[in-house]
Structure 1
Amino acid sequence: MSQDVTPETSPTHDEATPQSSEQPLEDRGSNRSLRPGSATFVSFITSGWGERPASSATRAPAADHTAARRSALSARFPGERLVVPAGTYKVRSNDTDYRFRPHAAFAHLTGLGMEQEPDAVLVLHPVDDGAGDDGSGHTAILYLRPLAGRDTDEFFSDSRYGEFWVGARPTLEEIETTTGIRTAHIDDLRDALAKDVGADGVQVLVVPGADESIEAVVEEIRATEQAGERDEKLAEALSELRLVKDAHEIQQMREAVDVTIDGFAKVVRALPQAVEHRRGERVIEGTFVGHARQEGNQVGYETIAAAGEHATTLHWTDNDGAVRAGELVLIDAGVEIDSLYTADVTRTLPVDGTFTEVQRRVYQAVLDAADAAFAVAVPGAKFRDIHAAAMDVIAHRLDEWGLLPVSAQEALDPENQHHRRWMVHGTSHHLGIDVHDCAQARGELYLDGVLEPGMVFTIEPGLYFKSDDLLVPAEYRGIGVRIEDDVLVTADGNENLSAALPRDPDAVEAWMADLLR
Structure 2
Amino acid sequence: MRYKQIDNQLFIENRKRLVSRLKPNSIVIVHSNDIMPTNADGTMVFKQNSDLFYLSGVDQEESILLLAPDFPDPKFREILFLRETNEEIAIWEGHKLTKEEGEQTSGIKNIKWNQDFEKVLYTILAESEHIYLPSNEHIRNASLVETANDRFIKSCMAKYPLYKYERLAPIIYDLRTIKSETEVKLIEHACHITEQGFRRILETVEPGVWEYEVEAEYAHKFLSNRSKGFAYTPIIAGGFNACVLHYIENNQQLKDGDLMLMDVGAEYANYNADMTRTIPVNGRFTKRQRQVYDAVLRVKNQATDLLKPGSAIPEYHAAVGELMTEELIELGLIDRTDVKNQDPEWPAYKRYFMHGTSHHLGLDVHDVASIYKKFEPGMVFTVEPGIYIREENIGIRLEDNILITKDGHRNLMRNIPIHADEIEDLMNK
| TM-score normalised to structure 2 length | 0.89
SS in 1 for 2:272: coil
1:276 paired with 2:208, answer yes
Q: Is the 8 A contact 2:235 2:263 kept in 1?
A: yes
2:68 to 104, 125, 150: 125
Q: Is the 8 A contact 2:200 2:217 kept in 1?
A: yes
SS in 2 for 1:429: coil
Q: CA deviation at 1:499?
A: 1.4
Per-residue CA deviations over 1:7-40 (Å, capped at 9, x if unaligned) read: xxxxxxxxxxxxxxxxxxxxxxxxxxxxxxxxxx
SS in 2 for 1:348: strand
SS in 2 for 1:92: coil
1:201–1:495: structure 2 CA closer, same or farther, 3 Å change rule? closer
Which has the higher relative contact order, 1 or 2, with Cα contacts under 8 A spaced 6 or more apart?
A: 2
2:182 to 237, 248, 251: 248
1:391 paired with 2:321, answer yes
| Corresponding residue number in structure 1 for 2:408 | 493
1:192 to 104, 120, 126: 120
C-alpha distance in 2 between matches for 1:510 and 1:294 = 26
1:378 paired with 2:308, answer yes
| Corresponding residue number in structure 1 for 2:90 | 163
After superposition, the CA RMSD in angstroms is: 2.4
Q: CA deviation at 1:122?
A: 0.9
Q: Is the 8 A contact 1:312 1:478 kept in 2?
A: yes
1:145 paired with 2:108, answer no
2:289 to 356, 359, 367: 359
Q: Which amino acid aligns with 1:67?
A: I
C-alpha distance in 1 between matches for 2:83 and 2:114 = 5
Structure 2: which 5+ residue stretches go unaligned?
Answer: 137-146
Q: Which amino acid aligns with 2:251?
A: D
C-alpha distance in 2 between matches for 1:216 and 1:289 = 40
Q: CA deviation at 1:402?
A: 3.5
C-alpha distance in 1 between matches for 2:52 and 2:341 = 44
Q: CA deviation at 1:403?
A: 2.8
C-alpha distance in 1 between matches for 2:351 and 2:79 = 51
Deviation above 6 Å: which 4+ runs of structure 1? none
Q: Is the 8 A contact 2:339 2:347 kept in 1?
A: no
Per-residue CA deviations over 1:294-345 (Å, capped at 9, x if unaligned) read: 21122110010010000001111111111112100000111001x1111000
SS in 2 for 1:218: helix
- Select the structure of larger CA radius of gyration: 1
Q: Is the 8 A contact 2:30 2:133 kept in 1?
A: yes
The within-5 A match list for 1:118-517 is 118-127=61-70, 139-148=77-86, 150=87, 155=88, 162-181=89-108, 182-195=110-123, 197=125, 201-208=128-135, 210-211=147-148, 212-224=150-162, 227=165, 230=166, 233-272=167-206, 275-277=207-209, 280-295=210-225, 296-337=227-268, 339-404=269-334, 406-407=336-337, 410=340, 414-438=344-368, 441=369, 446-467=370-391, 477-514=392-429
1:495–1:361: structure 2 CA closer, same or farther, 3 Å change rule? same
Structure 1: which 5+ residue stretches go unaligned?
Answer: 1-58, 156-161, 468-476
Aligned pairs, number: 412
Q: Is the 8 A contact 2:386 2:397 kept in 1?
A: yes
| Corresponding residue number in structure 2 for 1:64 | 9
Q: Is the 8 A contact 2:307 2:404 kept in 1?
A: yes
C-alpha distance in 2 between matches for 1:197 and 1:501 = 52
Q: CA deviation at 1:405?
A: 5.7
Q: CA deviation at 1:381?
A: 2.9
Task: Provide the identity percentage.
Answer: 30
SS in 1 for 2:404: strand
Q: CA deviation at 1:501?
A: 1.2
| Corresponding residue number in structure 2 for 1:33 | none
C-alpha distance in 2 between matches for 1:171 and 1:498 = 37
1:84–1:330: structure 2 CA closer, same or farther, 3 Å change rule? same
C-alpha distance in 2 between matches for 1:344 and 1:237 = 25
1:509–1:365: structure 2 CA closer, same or farther, 3 Å change rule? same
C-alpha distance in 1 between matches for 2:119 and 2:335 = 67
Q: Is the 8 A contact 2:68 2:124 kept in 1?
A: no
SS in 2 for 1:276: coil
C-alpha distance in 1 between matches for 2:419 and 2:35 = 43
1:504–1:407: structure 2 CA closer, same or farther, 3 Å change rule? farther
Q: CA deviation at 1:418?
A: 1.5
Q: CA deviation at 1:224?
A: 4.0
C-alpha distance in 2 between matches for 1:213 and 1:416 = 40
C-alpha distance in 2 between matches for 1:92 and 1:513 = 44
C-alpha distance in 2 between matches for 1:484 and 1:465 = 18
Q: Is the 8 A contact 1:330 1:482 kept in 2?
A: yes
C-alpha distance in 2 between matches for 1:146 and 1:412 = 62
Per-residue CA deviations over 1:260-309 (Å, capped at 9, x if unaligned) read: 1001112223313xx435xx111111211232222112211001001000
C-alpha distance in 1 between matches for 2:374 and 2:416 = 28
C-alpha distance in 1 between matches for 2:361 and 2:118 = 34
C-alpha distance in 1 between matches for 2:74 and 2:84 = 25
The within-5 A match list for 1:89-100 is 89-100=35-46
Per-residue CA deviations over 1:352-384 (Å, capped at 9, x if unaligned) read: 111001111111111111111111112233334
C-alpha distance in 1 between matches for 2:53 and 2:427 = 37
| Corresponding residue number in structure 1 for 2:54 | 108
Q: Which amino acid aligns with 1:453?
A: P
Q: CA deviation at 1:490?
A: 1.5
Q: Is the 8 A contact 2:292 2:331 kept in 1?
A: no
